[in-house]
Chains A and B, each alone.
Chain A
Amino acid sequence: AQSVTQLDSQVPVFEEAPVELRCNYSSSVSVYLFWYVQYPNQGLQLLLKYLSGSTLVKGINGFEAEFNKSQTSFHLRKPSVHISDTAEYFCAVKSNTGKLIFGQGTTLQVKP
Chain B
Amino acid sequence: DTAVSQTPKYLVTQMGNDKSIKCEQNLGHDTMYWYKQDSKKFLKIMFSYNNKELIINETVPNRFSPKSPDKAHLNLHINSLELGDSAVYFCASSQVPGAGNTIYFGEGSWLTVV
A, B from the same assembly? yes
CB contacts under 8 Å to A, within B9-49, are: 31, 33, 35, 40-45, 48
Report if A98-B31 is in contact (Cβ < 8 Å); known contacts: A32-B99, A49-B102. Answer: yes
Pick from B44, B45, B55, B108: contact of A43, CB below 8 A: B108
Interface residues in A90-104 (C-beta closer than 8 Å to B): 90, 94-100, 102, 104
The count of chain B contact residues (Cβ–Cβ below 8 Å) is 31
Residues of chain A within 8 A of B90, CB atoms compared: 43-44
Q: Is B106 engaged at the interface, CB distance under 8 Å to the other chain?
A: yes
B107, A100: Cβ atoms closer than 8 Å: no
Q: Choose from B56, B105, B108, B110 the contact partner of A99 (Cβ within 8 Å).
A: B56
A97 touching B100, Cβ below 8 Å: no
CB distance from A21 to the nearest CB of B (A): 14
How many angstroms between the C-alpha atoms of A34 and B55 in the bound complex? 22
In the complex, what residues of A have CB within 8 A of residue B105's CB?
36, 43-45
Shortest CB-to-CB span from A73 to chain B, Å, is: 19
B94 touches A98 (CB 8 A): yes
Cβ-based interface call for B104 (8 A): yes
Which has the most chain A C-beta neighbours within 10 Å: B42, B48, B105?
B105
Residues in chain B near residue A32, CB distance under 8 A? 99-100
Complex interface: chain A residues within 8 A of B110 (CB) = 41
Check A99 against B107 for contact (C-beta < 8 Å).
Answer: no
> Shortest distance in angstroms between B105's beta carbon and chain A's nearest beta carbon?
4
CB distance from A109 to the nearest CB of B (A): 14
Check A90/B43 contact, CB under 8 A, given A95-B99, A97-B97, A98-B31: yes
For the complex, give the distance between the alpha carbons of A97 and B100 in Å: 11
Q: Name A51's contact: one of B55, B94, B100 (CB within 8 Å).
A: B100
Task: Give the distance to chain A from B34, nearest Cβ to Cβ, in Å.
Answer: 11
What are 14 A-B pairs with beta-carbon distances under 8 A?
A42-B107, A42-B108, A45-B105, A88-B41, A94-B100, A97-B56, A98-B48, A98-B98, A99-B56, A99-B97, A100-B45, A100-B103, A102-B42, A102-B44
